[in-house]
Structure 1
Amino acid sequence: MADDIRSYLLAGEKVLWSGKPQQGLRFAPIDIFLVPFSFIWAGMAVFIGGQAIWSMPFSLFTLMPCLFVVVGVYMTVGRLVQDIWVRARTDYMLTDRRAVIHRRPAFAGLGSDLVVVDLTRGAQVRFKAGMGDRGSIVFGQEIGFNLFRRANVGQWVPSLDPTARFIGIENARRVFDQIQTLQSRAG
């Protein structure tokens, strides 16, 4: 765990657990829809873009299909790479009062992202079992999938979902049990 996440401890707060999200390529359940959709989009964009570029004289109009190719490449590969990148720069910490998610900036000088969930105030917490002892813990109400919802890149890049969560952590059930114990003591 990166040392910077410990700098967010409050006075008298004790760390019960710390970890990182699952690393590497990780598919989410929504990828059952997104992967085929992104391949269809990218394939159509490349086909139509190629037709436009090779059949017309160069103009601003011929560059327009290239924009769709760029979007298709992002939807097919870029979002997965971005998710890997963000999770590699994310640390989790569970204290005796809070769940803390810290995303380090991609480049020095940029601000980091800190999400804190106060567990003593009865936050809704959900456990999602994964493979083996891995799983995810979701803090708060999840927003359902909506292809046309504005400002929610989390449906395309799960690590950027606005709903706070520990993604694919080891010993997830044990961490969830600790959270349940904390909440029962606070309630």
Structure 2
Amino acid sequence: MALFEAEMRLTGQLLPGERILWAGQPKQGIVFTRGDIYTTFFFLLWGGIPAFGLFSLPSDGPALFNLVAAPFIIIAVYMLVGRYFYDAWSRKLTFYAVTDRRVLMWNERGKGRFVALDRAHIGAVTLDGNREQGTILFGPEKEGLKFLGIANAGEVFDLVQRPLPAGR
């Protein structure tokens, strides 16, 4: 189903005569990474200290403290919980494809974002993770396109590495 949906979403972005060799989506649902442990501790402190002060002060305490503490607590709640739901929603709206000419990414968030890289000029291609579930990076790590958390990452990596058909 996800393969068919990804192909349908990206078909309108193809060049004349171009064909999809692989299509997919990032891993779905809430995903935790190694760096989340540090972010969690930081934002527990970020929001915990003002929350402690807010709830330990008498209810007739200084109103200014309430106004200053509220943004810290709101940001902490987003960073502790909300960002995972936003990330899952964003990945649900992201579709990837490898064609006989290009590597494509389409994200339907907001007005949409389409990225296409010519396979002949793609530069470095890196596989992070394992061949069953991983991330493929195209080009420089900070600037390039990423296929985040895709299934069968090794097969897609091998497909991208194959020489282009003659005349392309």
Tell me if both proteins adopt one fold, taking TM over 0.5 as the criterion.
yes
The amino acid across from 1:179 in the alignment is V
Per-residue deviation, 1:48:
3.0
Q: Is the partner of 1:8 in helix, strand or coil? A: coil
- Is this contact kept in 2: 1:53–1:63, CA < 8 A? no
| Superposition map of 1:13-162 within 5 A | 13-51=18-56, 54=59, 56-59=61-64, 61-105=65-109, 110-130=110-130, 133-143=132-142
Larger Rg: 2
Partners in 2 of 1:184 and 1:128 — Cα distance? 27
Unpaired runs of 5+ residues, structure 2, are none
Partners in 1 of 2:28 and 2:79 — Cα distance? 20
Matched with 1:157 is: none
Per residue, is there more strand in 1 or in 2?
Answer: 2
Number of corresponding residues: 162
- Is this contact kept in 2: 1:45–1:72, CA < 8 A? no
Per-residue deviation, 1:57:
4.1
Q: 1:52 to 1:13 in 2, by over 3 A?
A: farther
- Is this contact kept in 2: 1:97–1:182, CA < 8 A? no
- Is this contact kept in 1: 2:9–2:95, CA < 8 A? no
TM-score by length of 1: 0.76
Unpaired runs of 5+ residues, structure 1, are 144-161
Partners in 2 of 1:139 and 1:53 — Cα distance? 56
Q: Which moved more, 1:19-28 or 1:47-56?
A: 47-56
Q: Percent identity?
A: 33
Partners in 2 of 1:99 and 1:54 — Cα distance? 58
Q: 1:57 to 1:48 in 2, by over 3 A?
A: closer
Structure 1 segments of 4 or more deviating over 4 A?
183-186
